[in-house]
Protein backbone atom coordinates (compact mmCIF):
# COMPACT_ATOMS: atom_id res chain seq x y z
CA UNK A 1 0.00 0.00 0.00
CA UNK A 2 1.53 3.34 -1.00
CA UNK A 3 2.37 5.70 1.79
CA UNK A 4 0.57 8.99 2.28
CA UNK A 5 3.78 10.81 1.48
CA UNK A 6 3.78 9.37 -2.03
CA UNK A 7 0.23 10.62 -2.54
CA UNK A 8 1.21 14.16 -1.76
CA UNK A 9 0.74 16.27 -4.88
CA UNK A 10 3.89 17.86 -6.20
CA UNK A 11 3.84 21.60 -6.84
CA UNK A 12 3.11 22.39 -10.46
CA UNK A 13 6.26 23.48 -12.26
CA UNK A 14 6.35 27.02 -13.66
CA UNK A 15 5.87 27.18 -17.40
CA UNK A 16 6.94 29.23 -20.40
CA UNK A 17 5.15 32.55 -20.87
CA UNK A 18 1.86 32.02 -22.75
CA UNK A 19 2.73 34.79 -25.25
CA UNK A 20 6.06 33.17 -26.08
CA UNK A 21 6.24 31.89 -29.68
CA UNK A 22 7.45 28.56 -28.33
CA UNK A 23 4.74 28.13 -25.70
CA UNK A 24 2.61 25.79 -27.82
CA UNK A 25 5.09 25.15 -30.61
CA UNK A 26 8.59 24.22 -29.39
CA UNK A 27 11.36 24.20 -32.02
CA UNK A 28 11.45 21.07 -34.18
CA UNK A 29 15.16 20.49 -34.75
CA UNK A 30 14.52 18.02 -37.55
CA UNK A 31 12.40 20.47 -39.54
CA UNK A 32 14.83 23.32 -38.92
CA UNK A 33 17.78 21.17 -40.06
CA UNK A 34 15.95 20.38 -43.31
CA UNK A 35 15.32 24.07 -43.93
CA UNK A 36 18.75 25.31 -42.83
CA UNK A 37 21.59 22.98 -43.91
CA UNK A 38 24.04 24.82 -41.64
CA UNK A 39 22.17 23.40 -38.62
CA UNK A 40 22.07 19.82 -39.90
CA UNK A 41 25.56 18.78 -38.64
CA UNK A 42 24.52 19.75 -35.11
CA UNK A 43 21.32 17.69 -34.99
CA UNK A 44 21.45 14.03 -33.96
CA UNK A 45 18.79 11.49 -33.06
CA UNK A 46 18.36 9.70 -29.74
CA UNK A 47 17.41 6.05 -29.40
CA UNK A 48 13.73 6.95 -29.37
CA UNK A 49 14.15 8.72 -32.71
CA UNK A 50 13.83 12.26 -31.38
CA UNK A 51 16.05 15.00 -32.84
CA UNK A 52 18.47 16.44 -30.31
CA UNK A 53 21.01 19.25 -29.91
CA UNK A 54 24.25 18.91 -27.97
CA UNK A 55 23.87 21.71 -25.44
CA UNK A 56 27.49 21.32 -24.35
CA UNK A 57 28.72 22.33 -27.83
CA UNK A 58 29.02 26.12 -28.18
CA UNK A 59 28.92 25.98 -32.00
CA UNK A 60 25.71 23.95 -31.79
CA UNK A 61 23.90 26.35 -29.46
CA UNK A 62 25.11 29.40 -31.40
CA UNK A 63 23.89 28.00 -34.74
CA UNK A 64 20.54 27.08 -33.21
CA UNK A 65 20.12 30.62 -31.86
CA UNK A 66 20.99 32.05 -35.29
CA UNK A 67 18.45 29.80 -37.01
CA UNK A 68 15.66 30.46 -34.49
CA UNK A 69 16.12 34.21 -34.76
CA UNK A 70 16.04 34.02 -38.55
CA UNK A 71 13.23 31.47 -38.90
CA UNK A 72 10.86 32.69 -36.19
CA UNK A 73 11.70 36.39 -35.92
CA UNK A 74 13.13 37.38 -39.30
CA UNK A 75 16.36 38.56 -37.68
CA UNK A 76 19.89 38.28 -39.08
CA UNK A 77 22.28 37.60 -36.23
CA UNK A 78 25.75 36.38 -35.36
CA UNK A 79 28.38 36.65 -32.61
CA UNK A 80 32.10 35.85 -32.59
CA UNK A 81 33.55 32.87 -30.74
CA UNK A 82 33.36 33.01 -26.97
CA UNK A 83 30.73 35.73 -26.64
CA UNK A 84 27.67 34.91 -24.55
CA UNK A 85 25.14 32.99 -26.65
CA UNK A 86 21.55 33.56 -25.51
CA UNK A 87 18.71 31.06 -25.69
CA UNK A 88 15.82 32.58 -27.62
CA UNK A 89 12.82 31.14 -25.68
CA UNK A 90 14.27 32.20 -22.32
CA UNK A 91 15.05 35.74 -23.47
CA UNK A 92 11.58 36.01 -25.02
CA UNK A 93 10.09 35.18 -21.61
CA UNK A 94 11.77 38.25 -20.11
CA UNK A 95 10.49 40.48 -22.92
CA UNK A 96 6.92 39.27 -22.47
CA UNK A 97 7.09 39.69 -18.71
CA UNK A 98 8.04 43.33 -19.19
CA UNK A 99 5.14 43.60 -21.62
CA UNK A 100 2.91 42.42 -18.75
CA UNK A 101 4.39 45.03 -16.42
CA UNK A 102 3.82 47.84 -18.90
CA UNK A 103 0.24 46.83 -19.58
CA UNK A 104 -0.58 46.56 -15.87
CA UNK A 105 -2.87 49.24 -14.43
CA UNK A 106 -1.11 49.24 -11.06
CA UNK A 107 0.99 52.30 -11.83
CA UNK A 108 -0.02 55.08 -14.27
CA UNK A 109 1.19 54.87 -17.83
CA UNK A 110 3.64 57.37 -19.27
CA UNK A 111 1.82 59.28 -22.00
CA UNK A 112 4.68 61.63 -22.87
CA UNK A 113 5.67 59.58 -25.93
CA UNK A 114 2.21 58.38 -26.91
CA UNK A 115 2.30 54.66 -27.67
CA UNK A 116 6.09 54.55 -28.09
CA UNK A 117 7.75 52.25 -25.54
CA UNK A 118 11.37 52.99 -24.72
CA UNK A 119 13.64 50.51 -22.97
CA UNK A 120 17.22 50.52 -21.68
CA UNK A 121 19.26 47.29 -21.84
CA UNK A 122 22.15 47.32 -19.34
CA UNK A 123 25.03 45.30 -20.80
CA UNK A 124 23.40 44.41 -24.09
CA UNK A 125 26.37 42.26 -25.14
CA UNK A 126 27.55 41.37 -28.62
CA UNK A 127 24.31 39.41 -29.05
CA UNK A 128 22.06 42.47 -28.45
CA UNK A 129 19.25 39.96 -27.94
CA UNK A 130 16.80 42.01 -25.88
CA UNK A 131 16.68 45.07 -28.16
CA UNK A 132 16.40 42.83 -31.23
CA UNK A 133 13.53 40.81 -29.76
CA UNK A 134 11.74 43.79 -28.22
CA UNK A 135 11.93 45.79 -31.44
CA UNK A 136 10.92 42.90 -33.73
CA UNK A 137 8.16 41.45 -31.55
CA UNK A 138 6.61 44.61 -30.14
CA UNK A 139 8.06 47.62 -31.97
CA UNK A 140 9.79 48.94 -28.85
CA UNK A 141 12.69 51.38 -29.04
CA UNK A 142 15.89 50.68 -27.14
CA UNK A 143 19.17 52.02 -25.90
CA UNK A 144 21.60 49.16 -25.39
CA UNK A 145 24.77 49.86 -23.43
CA UNK A 146 28.02 47.98 -23.06
CA UNK A 147 31.60 48.50 -22.00
CA UNK A 148 33.80 46.32 -24.24
CA UNK A 149 34.84 47.13 -27.78
CA UNK A 150 33.79 43.74 -29.14
CA UNK A 151 30.33 43.92 -27.55
CA UNK A 152 29.65 47.39 -28.94
CA UNK A 153 31.02 46.48 -32.37
CA UNK A 154 28.97 43.32 -32.78
CA UNK A 155 25.82 44.71 -31.20
CA UNK A 156 25.99 47.50 -33.76
CA UNK A 157 26.52 44.97 -36.55
CA UNK A 158 23.49 43.00 -35.46
CA UNK A 159 21.42 46.18 -35.49
CA UNK A 160 22.67 47.26 -38.92
CA UNK A 161 21.88 43.86 -40.41
CA UNK A 162 18.21 44.27 -39.57
CA UNK A 163 17.27 47.41 -41.42
CA UNK A 164 13.56 47.00 -40.68
CA UNK A 165 14.21 47.73 -36.99
CA UNK A 166 17.63 49.42 -37.03
CA UNK A 167 16.17 52.88 -36.40
CA UNK A 168 14.61 51.63 -33.17
CA UNK A 169 17.89 50.66 -31.50
CA UNK A 170 20.81 52.80 -30.32
CA UNK A 171 24.01 51.21 -29.00
CA UNK A 172 25.86 53.27 -26.41
CA UNK A 173 29.50 52.80 -25.40
CA UNK A 174 30.09 53.05 -21.65
CA UNK A 175 33.34 54.55 -20.46
CA UNK A 176 34.98 54.63 -17.07
CA UNK A 177 34.83 58.43 -16.90
CA UNK A 178 31.06 58.48 -16.26
CA UNK A 179 30.26 59.78 -19.75
CA UNK A 180 27.56 58.57 -22.13
CA UNK A 181 28.94 57.82 -25.59
CA UNK A 182 26.78 57.29 -28.64
CA UNK A 183 27.80 55.07 -31.54
CA UNK A 184 28.04 56.75 -34.92
CA UNK A 185 25.00 56.70 -37.15
CA UNK A 186 24.22 53.20 -38.47
CA UNK A 187 24.93 54.36 -42.02
CA UNK A 188 28.54 55.05 -41.19
CA UNK A 189 31.29 52.46 -41.45
CA UNK A 190 31.82 49.74 -43.98
CA UNK A 191 29.02 47.57 -45.31
CA UNK A 192 28.17 44.28 -43.67
CA UNK A 193 27.03 41.07 -45.33
CA UNK A 194 23.69 40.31 -43.68
CA UNK A 195 22.53 37.40 -45.78
CA UNK A 196 23.99 34.71 -43.53
CA UNK A 197 26.77 34.86 -40.95
CA UNK A 198 28.03 38.40 -40.76
CA UNK A 199 31.61 39.08 -41.68
CA UNK A 200 34.00 41.21 -39.67
CA UNK A 201 34.34 44.16 -42.02
CA UNK A 202 32.05 46.63 -40.30
CA UNK A 203 33.60 49.06 -37.86
CA UNK A 204 32.29 51.14 -35.01
CA UNK A 205 33.65 54.61 -34.41
CA UNK A 206 34.65 55.12 -30.79
CA UNK A 207 34.64 58.52 -29.13
CA UNK A 208 36.63 57.47 -26.07
CA UNK A 209 38.85 54.63 -24.96
CA UNK A 210 38.24 52.53 -21.86
CA UNK A 211 40.71 52.68 -19.06
CA UNK A 212 42.81 49.53 -18.59
CA UNK A 213 41.06 46.68 -16.87
CA UNK A 214 43.18 47.26 -13.78
CA UNK A 215 41.14 50.44 -13.25
CA UNK A 216 38.23 48.20 -12.29
CA UNK A 217 40.06 46.11 -9.70
CA UNK A 218 37.71 45.13 -6.87
CA UNK A 219 37.76 47.16 -3.68
CA UNK A 220 38.44 45.66 -0.31
CA UNK A 221 34.72 45.10 0.20
CA UNK A 222 34.01 42.25 -2.22
CA UNK A 223 30.26 42.76 -1.79
CA UNK A 224 30.42 46.20 -3.42
CA UNK A 225 30.26 46.66 -7.17
CA UNK A 226 33.36 48.31 -8.65
CA UNK A 227 33.16 48.74 -12.36
CA UNK A 228 31.97 50.92 -15.22
CA UNK A 229 28.74 52.89 -14.81
CA UNK A 230 25.47 50.99 -15.15
CA UNK A 231 22.72 53.64 -15.24
CA UNK A 232 24.15 56.77 -13.63
CA UNK A 233 26.54 58.35 -16.11
CA UNK A 234 25.02 56.45 -19.03
CA UNK A 235 21.44 57.71 -18.94
CA UNK A 236 21.52 61.28 -20.20
CA UNK A 237 19.96 64.30 -18.56
CA UNK A 238 16.28 64.56 -19.31
CA UNK A 239 15.96 61.07 -20.81
CA UNK A 240 12.83 59.09 -19.95
CA UNK A 241 12.39 55.32 -20.25
CA UNK A 242 9.51 52.98 -19.65
CA UNK A 243 11.84 50.31 -18.29
CA UNK A 244 15.37 49.04 -17.96
CA UNK A 245 16.37 45.39 -18.14
CA UNK A 246 19.54 43.45 -17.48
CA UNK A 247 21.05 40.00 -17.74
CA UNK A 248 23.71 40.62 -15.07
CA UNK A 249 27.00 38.79 -14.50
CA UNK A 250 25.77 36.00 -12.25
CA UNK A 251 29.13 34.84 -10.88
CA UNK A 252 32.12 36.01 -8.85
CA UNK A 253 34.70 33.89 -10.71
CA UNK A 254 34.96 32.17 -14.10
CA UNK A 255 35.54 28.88 -12.26
CA UNK A 256 32.12 29.29 -10.65
CA UNK A 257 30.60 30.16 -14.04
CA UNK A 258 31.86 26.89 -15.52
CA UNK A 259 30.32 24.59 -12.91
CA UNK A 260 27.36 23.56 -15.09
CA UNK A 261 28.64 20.79 -17.39
CA UNK A 262 25.28 20.36 -19.14
CA UNK A 263 25.37 23.58 -21.16
CA UNK A 264 27.84 25.68 -23.12
CA UNK A 265 26.63 29.22 -23.72
CA UNK A 266 30.08 30.82 -23.87
CA UNK A 267 30.55 34.14 -22.16
CA UNK A 268 33.53 36.40 -21.49
CA UNK A 269 34.64 37.46 -18.00
CA UNK A 270 33.03 40.85 -18.58
CA UNK A 271 29.70 39.15 -19.30
CA UNK A 272 29.81 36.44 -16.65
CA UNK A 273 31.76 37.75 -13.67
CA UNK A 274 32.07 40.74 -11.38
CA UNK A 275 33.30 41.18 -7.79
CA UNK A 276 30.39 40.33 -5.54
CA UNK A 277 28.56 38.61 -8.39
CA UNK A 278 24.97 39.39 -9.29
CA UNK A 279 24.15 40.52 -5.75
CA UNK A 280 26.63 43.41 -5.94
CA UNK A 281 25.78 44.21 -9.57
CA UNK A 282 22.02 44.43 -9.04
CA UNK A 283 22.51 46.28 -5.76
CA UNK A 284 24.29 48.98 -7.78
CA UNK A 285 21.33 49.13 -10.18
CA UNK A 286 19.07 49.60 -7.16
CA UNK A 287 21.31 52.39 -5.85
CA UNK A 288 21.28 54.07 -9.27
CA UNK A 289 17.50 53.74 -9.44
CA UNK A 290 17.13 55.77 -6.25
CA UNK A 291 18.76 58.69 -8.04
CA UNK A 292 17.03 58.06 -11.39
CA UNK A 293 13.59 57.23 -9.99
CA UNK A 294 11.96 59.92 -12.16
CA UNK A 295 13.57 58.58 -15.36
CA UNK A 296 12.03 55.07 -15.42
CA UNK A 297 8.58 53.63 -14.84
CA UNK A 298 10.02 50.18 -14.12
CA UNK A 299 13.48 48.98 -13.17
CA UNK A 300 14.03 45.26 -13.81
CA UNK A 301 16.77 42.65 -13.74
CA UNK A 302 17.15 38.92 -14.15
CA UNK A 303 18.41 37.09 -11.06
CA UNK A 304 20.21 33.74 -11.11
CA UNK A 305 19.88 32.64 -7.47
CA UNK A 306 16.74 32.62 -5.40
CA UNK A 307 18.67 33.41 -2.23
CA UNK A 308 19.84 36.65 -3.86
CA UNK A 309 16.27 37.46 -4.86
CA UNK A 310 15.30 37.51 -1.20
CA UNK A 311 18.24 39.76 -0.31
CA UNK A 312 17.51 42.19 -3.16
CA UNK A 313 13.82 42.38 -2.31
CA UNK A 314 14.80 43.35 1.22
CA UNK A 315 17.16 45.98 -0.18
CA UNK A 316 14.33 47.45 -2.24
CA UNK A 317 12.17 47.81 0.84
CA UNK A 318 15.02 49.72 2.49
CA UNK A 319 15.27 52.29 -0.31
CA UNK A 320 11.53 52.95 -0.27
CA UNK A 321 10.22 51.70 -3.59
CA UNK A 322 6.44 51.70 -3.98
CA UNK A 323 6.11 48.27 -5.55
CA UNK A 324 8.12 45.11 -6.18
CA UNK A 325 7.24 42.25 -8.53
CA UNK A 326 8.94 38.93 -9.07
CA UNK A 327 8.50 35.99 -11.41
CA UNK A 328 10.26 32.77 -12.35
CA UNK A 329 11.63 32.07 -15.82
CA UNK A 330 11.93 28.39 -16.69
CA UNK A 331 13.49 26.79 -19.75
CA UNK A 332 14.27 23.09 -19.55
CA UNK A 333 16.18 22.49 -16.32
CA UNK A 334 17.32 26.11 -15.98
CA UNK A 335 15.56 28.51 -13.60
CA UNK A 336 16.04 32.24 -13.43
CA UNK A 337 14.01 34.87 -11.62
CA UNK A 338 12.78 38.29 -12.70
CA UNK A 339 12.87 41.23 -10.30
CA UNK A 340 11.04 44.50 -11.01
CA UNK A 341 10.46 47.61 -8.95
CA UNK A 342 9.12 51.12 -9.31
CA UNK A 343 9.05 54.43 -7.47
CA UNK A 344 5.87 55.55 -9.24
CA UNK A 345 2.97 55.81 -6.79
CA UNK A 346 0.41 53.06 -7.53
CA UNK A 347 -2.99 54.15 -8.79
CA UNK A 348 -4.61 51.62 -6.46
CA UNK A 349 -3.73 49.96 -3.19
CA UNK A 350 -2.19 46.51 -3.53
CA UNK A 351 -2.76 43.88 -0.90
CA UNK A 352 -0.95 40.60 -1.44
CA UNK A 353 -2.46 37.32 -0.31
CA UNK A 354 -0.10 34.55 0.70
CA UNK A 355 1.70 33.31 -2.40
CA UNK A 356 0.65 29.75 -3.15
CA UNK A 357 3.40 27.18 -3.59
CA UNK A 358 1.93 25.97 -6.86
CA UNK A 359 1.72 29.39 -8.48
CA UNK A 360 2.74 29.24 -12.12
CA UNK A 361 5.44 31.29 -13.75
CA UNK A 362 4.46 34.88 -14.48
CA UNK A 363 2.06 35.00 -11.55
CA UNK A 364 3.24 38.28 -10.10
CA UNK A 365 4.00 38.67 -6.41
CA UNK A 366 3.05 42.07 -5.04
CA UNK A 367 4.50 43.75 -2.01
CA UNK A 368 2.85 46.83 -0.55
CA UNK A 369 5.84 48.69 0.84
CA UNK A 370 4.15 51.49 2.69
CA UNK A 371 1.04 53.55 2.14
CA UNK A 372 3.08 56.59 3.14
CA UNK A 373 5.39 56.05 0.15
CA UNK A 374 2.36 55.71 -2.12
CA UNK A 375 1.09 59.13 -1.08
CA UNK A 376 4.35 60.98 -1.63
The answer on whether 81 is annotated among ligand-binding residues is: no
Instruction: Give me the residues paired with residue 358 across strands.
Output: none
Q: How many CB atoms lie within 10 A of CB 111?
A: 7
**Which of 158-170 are b and which e, b meaning 16 or more Cβ less than 10 Å from the residue's Cβ?**
bbbbbeebbebbb
Q: What is the DSSP string of 12-26?
A: PPP---TTSTTSSS-
Identify the DSSP state of 41. Answer: G
Please enumerate in sequence order all residues whose Cβ is within 8 A of that of 4, keeping only pairs 6 or more positions apart, or say none: none
Q: What is the DSSP string of 283-312?
A: HHHHHHHHHSTTTEEEEEEEES-HHHHHHH
Q: How far apart are CA 366 and CA 352, in angstroms?
A: 6
The answer on whether 91 is annotated among ligand-binding residues is: yes
The answer on whether 247 is annotated among ligand-binding residues is: yes
The answer on whether 297 is annotated among ligand-binding residues is: no
Q: Select from 327, 329, 316 the least CA-distant residue to 368.
A: 316
Q: Which residues are annotated as a binding site for S-adenosyl-L-methionine?
A: 91, 123, 146, 247
Q: Which residues are annotated as a binding site?
A: 91, 123, 146, 247
Amino acid sequence: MPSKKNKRKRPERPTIHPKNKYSDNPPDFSVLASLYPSLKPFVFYSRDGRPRIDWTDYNSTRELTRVLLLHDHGLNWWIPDGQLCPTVPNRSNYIHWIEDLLSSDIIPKNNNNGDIVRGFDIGTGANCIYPLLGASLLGWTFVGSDVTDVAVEWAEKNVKCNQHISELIEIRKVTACQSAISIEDSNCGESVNCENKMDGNATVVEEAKLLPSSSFDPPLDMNKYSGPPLLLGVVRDGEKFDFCMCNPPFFETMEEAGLNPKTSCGGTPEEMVCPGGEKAFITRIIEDSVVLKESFRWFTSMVGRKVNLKFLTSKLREVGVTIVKTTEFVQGQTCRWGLAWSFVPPVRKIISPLVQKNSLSFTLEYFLISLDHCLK
